[in-house]
Amino acid sequence: MTAPSRPFEPKNGFVKWFDQQLPIFTLLHGALVAYPTPKNLNYWWSFGFLAGILLFVQIITGVVLAMHYTPHALMAFDSVEHIMRDVNYGWLLRYVHSNGAAFFFIVVYIHMFRGLYYGSYKGPREVLWMLGLVIFLLMMATAFMGYVLPWGQMSFWAATVITNLFGAIPLVGDAIVSLLWGGFAVDNPTLNRFFSLHYVLPFVIFGVVILHIWALHIPGSNNPLGIDVKGPQDQVDFHPYHVVKDTFMTSVMAIIFFAFVFYAPNYMGHPDNYIPADPMVTPAHIVPDWYFLPFYAILRSVPDVTIFGFTLIEAKLAGIMAMAASLLLLFALPWLDRSPVRSGTFRPIFKLLFWVLVVDVVILGIVGAKVPDDIAITIGEGGISWLIVGQLTTIYYFGFFLVALPLLAKFEKTKPLPESISEAILSRNAKA
Amino acid sequence: MSTMEQTTEHEETGARRRDFLFVAAGGFGVVAAGAAVWPLVDQMNPSADVLALSSIEVDLAPIAVGQAIKVKWRGKPVYIRRRTPAEIAAARDFPTADLPDAQSDEERVKAGHDEWLVVIGVCTHLGCIPIDYQGDYDGWYCPCHGSHYDTSGRIRKGPAPKNLAVPEYTFINDFRIKIG
Ligand code: HEM
Ligand code: FES
């Protein structure tokens, strides 16, 4: 662990007695008070804290929602309406939980792009990065299963389409799908098990978050310059500096968050989910929750993989493989990008390609919500379909990670790095 | 030390016996772990009551020529369509070999009951419910990702890899079938 900047010296007799037998106060003091952080952290470093707040909000609101929710195909939809209409403040708790999930993803996506830009995945923080990805995968599973619980049309058909994806796995696909459903279609057994897992996974996430923070506190935080801390002159304590800064950011987020909760609570949802699930009718246009759209777009962009007119991999399987790869390659990121310079600030080409990637992922998100054969850009009579846009953006996504990063590590001319964090700050102040 | 000497003396036989015990204990442990995990996994498979609900009888008499009905079987829709001569001809005139999932119309109906087409109404792409009398071939059209099926329920265009599945069914008499 990065040593605390000052020792823990409790004045309270009880704390002193307790801490001698179980040094939990020492642990918290080292992690939240005397934890030394680089002086130059900017606001992008607050997003991990915000994610932690949101995990807490999801768990609290989720546990109370579960006191009123009924995980049964015949009653789930009505029980959610009961929460909305009858339960005291039920509408508030539900809207905080559903918008909380969306904000959780916004915050985590920003947190991840921050890590990408500043090279926080590079040594000595590879394990930290990979634990973050484990959290991300668990979040996706949790949110997907949570979305099924209200048992509306979107819940039902999202569950159907996503579970059917596993059917593309050769040989064992059908057995796996039937195992996931507990029947011949998505039905009550599916809903019941999804509720069980949706309840427990957030606590698993909580456990991995503890490991994530532990892995952070061994090397300490990276910083916008991406250079190592040289000594105490480069650092400030977590308390009061980041406690204040992160509290400020929490307030900013709360203002935006509650603007949604109170004024546009269904803005990020889909109206069809207020129609009870009907296994006999599919809605005209089904989409997953918005935070899955970029990956859904990659899934749909991949055509049959053929060699000499012979189909090697059917589009359905190829799409799933591409989607899985788009997530799993992030685990290999520390080894794809071997450039010794961490921060994008000193890597002109990386910086440019990074921002193109951000735009690329946003476009993928738009593509995921569209009908593939519709025209995206009209040119004369015809035009370019969303499918083509999706394919181009998918190629860029993979190209960035698998081609550009390894090449840049070899050929990019990086800018000179400052001597130290404090020197960089002093020279900037001198210029100003 | 005497104990030391003893171990060396018996090294060969002793070691072999240990190896055996080690493998036996390890093997036993693996079997035990498997036996403990399997019930935890298999509980997720369809339960006995779900499996028991698996056959239904349908009265066909009310269905007119050129009409289709949708019944629920195993939680999924099954389309029962009484086809017009033109629809049957449209399905049979197209060369079977040119289909993505080659299957003749005759293989998909019961001999002597050619006007009745019974298919599971679940798109073979990702499981949406296709809409009947829609699409380029007036069979079915799946709104999710645009698959077109013909009047025999065979895939003709779009991302779905297979024809609409024909469930197991038998004619009890000319106007009554049992599905499942
Ligand atoms: C990682 C944290 C969590 C995430 C990302 C998450 C996400 C979601 C989402 C997206 C929904 C659907 C909201 C809607 O459409 O109304 C939902 C519903 C639900 N969640 Fe969670 N959740 C989390 C934690 C929890 C926990 C810890 C519990 C309970 C112990 C819980 C209980 C419920 C219940 C009962 C519902 C159904 C009621 C409703 O539709 O509002 N959730 N969750
Ligand atoms: S589910 Fe029917 S086309 Fe995709």
Q: Structural domains in chain A?
A: 28-264+272-286 (1.20.810.10), 289-427 (no CATH)
> In the predicted model, is pLDDT for residue A272 greater than 70?
yes
The mean pLDDT value for A196-218 works out to 97
* Nearest residue of chain B to residue A167 (CA atoms): B126
Q: State residue A2's pLDDT score.
A: 78
Q: How far apart are CA A116 and CA A123, in angstroms?
A: 13
Pocket lining: B90 vs ligand 2, CB cutoff 6 Å: no
pLDDT of residue A170: 87
Q: In terms of C-beta distances under 8 Å and separation of at least 24 residues, what long-range contacts does A86-94 make, across chains too?
A: A92/A261, A93/A61, A93/A64, A93/A65, A94/A61, A94/A65
State the ligand closest to the CA atom of A372: 2
Q: What is the rounded average pLDDT of the residues B127-142?
A: 92
For the record, the structure tokens of A311 come out as: 């189909």
Assign A89 a pLDDT band (cuts: 50, 70, 90): very high
- Known catalytic membership, residue B145: yes
Which of A282, A300, A371 is nearest residue B128 as measured by Cβ atoms?
A282
Report the residue from A160, A193, A280 with minimal CB separation from B44: A193
Pull the structure tokens for residue A330.
């992030």
Q: Residue B163: CB within 6 Å of ligand 2?
A: no
Using the predicted structure, report yes or no on whether residue A399 has a pLDDT greater than 90. Answer: yes
Chain B residues with beta carbon closer than 8 angstroms to that of A197: none
Rounded mean pLDDT of chain B?
A: 88
CA of A265 to the centre of ligand 2 (A): 30
Which of B44, B78, B126, B132 to mutate to probe the A interface, most A CBs <10 Å? Answer: B126
Chain centroid offset of residue B120 CA: 10
Kindly tell me if the per-residue pLDDT of B8 is higher than 80. no
Partner B, chain A 311-370, Cβ-Cβ below 8 Å:
314-316
ipTM of this complex? 0.76
Mean pLDDT in residue range A19-43: 94
Ligand 2 atom closest to Cα of B145? 3
The string of DSSP codes covering A20-40 is HHSTHHHHHIIIIIS-EEETT
Signed CA dihedral, A64, A65, A71, A76: sign only: positive
pTM, two decimals, is 0.88
Chain B residues inside the 8 Å CB shell of A164: 126-127
**Residue % of chain A over a pLDDT of 90:** 83
Omega of the bond leading into A36 within 30 degrees of 0 (cis): no
User: From the CB of A154, is ligand 1 less than 6 Å away?
Assistant: no
pLDDT per position as a tens digit, B81-99: 999 999 999 999 999 888 9
Instruction: Kindly list the residues from chain B whose CB atom is less than 8 angstroms away from the CB atom of residue A371.
Output: 146
CB A91, CB A262: distance < 8 Å: no
Q: Does B50 sit within 8 Å of A183, measured CB to CB?
A: yes
Q: Do the bridges between strand B155-157 and strand B147-149 make them parallel or antiparallel, or are there none, so unpaired?
A: antiparallel
Say yes or no to pLDDT of A15 above 60: yes
pLDDT band at A416 (very low <50, low <70, confident <90, very high): very high
Q: Please say if the pLDDT value at position B1 is more than 50.
A: no
B123 lines ligand 2 (CB under 6 A): yes
Mean pLDDT of chain A: 94
Interface residue A181 vs chain B (CB under 8 A): yes
Residue A410 confidence class, pLDDT cut points 50, 70, 90: very high
The pLDDT of residue A1:
60
* Banded model confidence at residue A317, pLDDT cuts 50, 70, 90: confident
Q: What is the pLDDT of residues B38-88, one digit of tens each?
A: 988 999 998 888 887 778 999 999 999 999 999 999 888 999 999 999 999
Distances (CA, A) of A26 to A11, A207, A219, A392: 13, 20, 19, 53
Are the C-beta atoms of A82 and A68 separated by less than 8 Å?
Answer: yes
A150 Cβ closer than 6 Å to some ligand 1 atom:
yes
Q: Is the peptide bond before A279 cis (omega within 30 degrees of 0)?
A: no
* Ligand closest to CA A79: 1
User: Tell me, what's the pLDDT at B48?
Assistant: 87
Mean per-residue pLDDT for A389-399? 97
Q: Are A295 and A285 in contact (CB under 8 A)?
A: no
Question: Separation of B142 CA from ligand 2 center, angstroms?
Answer: 6
The alpha-carbon gap from B65 to the nearest alpha carbon of chain A, in Å, equals: 23
What is the mean predicted confidence (pLDDT) over A111-132?
97
Question: Is the CB of A129 within 6 Å of ligand 1?
Answer: no
| Token representation of residue B86 | 């033109």
Share of chain A above pLDDT 70, in %: 100
